Homo-oligomer: A and B are copies of this chain.
Amino acid sequence: MTPEERIEALGLSLPVVAQPVGNYVPALVDGACVWTSGQLPLVEGRLAATGSVGDDDGLVSPDLARECARIAALNGLAAMAGSCGGLDRILRVVRVVGYVASAPGFTAQPSVVNGASDLMVEVFGEPGRHVRSAIGVTALPLGSPVEIEIEARLR
């Protein structure tokens, strides 16, 4: 199966890539590498959730935040596919950074960022394993609960 076929088998599909408003690009190929810009959990132009992640009422729950990380990562795959000509050009995922807008005291960032890491392995298999950092931050663009960067190596 190709990565695109695996995405379909997961019941997902690569979304249309949102074009940045500023002087930057959604993803960039340089040599044998492809990088994404920080990806938000946008679904048809709207964030799947907004706010800080935590366990208390009124916050984005860790489960919802993990799903947001998965959506952001799927957007990242779409951005990479658009810039490199298709996900079957990706030899391996190298690095994922997950930023989690975190309420005071919330320290389960890894379980949130697993939403992105798991998708990489579901789509690419073993070559989807990567180095990763999970970071709890104050706030993210538009009030997003997560932001995901992906770096990969091309064939």
A138 to B108, CA, bound (A): 12
Binding-face segment, A3-11, A57-65, A99-107: A99-107
Q: What is the copy number of this chain in the assembly?
A: 3
Complex Cα–Cα for A143 and B37 (A): 26
- Is A120 interfacial (CB-CB < 8 Å)? yes
A13 to chain B, nearest CB (A): 22
- Asked whether, in the complex, the Cβ of A133 is within 8 Å of the Cβ of B37, the reply is yes
Complex contacts, A132 vs chain B, CB 8 Å:
20, 22, 24, 37-38
Query: How many A residues face the partner with a CB closer than 8 A?
Result: 57
Quote the shortest CB–CB distance from A68 to chain B (angstroms).
Answer: 15
Indicate if A75 sits at the interface (CB-CB under 8 A): no
Residues of B contacting A97 with CB < 8 Å? Answer: 133
- CB contacts (< 8 Å) of A128 on chain B: these are 23
Chain A to chain B contacts (Cβ below 8 Å), 7 pairs:
A20-B132, A23-B121, A104-B138, A107-B139, A107-B143, A109-B140, A134-B140
Give every chain B residue within 8 A of A30 (Cβ-Cβ).
Answer: 92, 94, 153
A18 contacts the other chain (CB 8 A): no
Q: Please, which residues of chain B bring their CB within 8 A of the CB of A106?
A: 139
Instruction: Given contact pairs A23-B114, A35-B131, A37-B133, enumerate 8 new A-B contacts (beta carbons under 8 Å).
Output: A20-B132, A22-B118, A23-B121, A24-B130, A28-B129, A107-B142, A109-B140, A136-B139
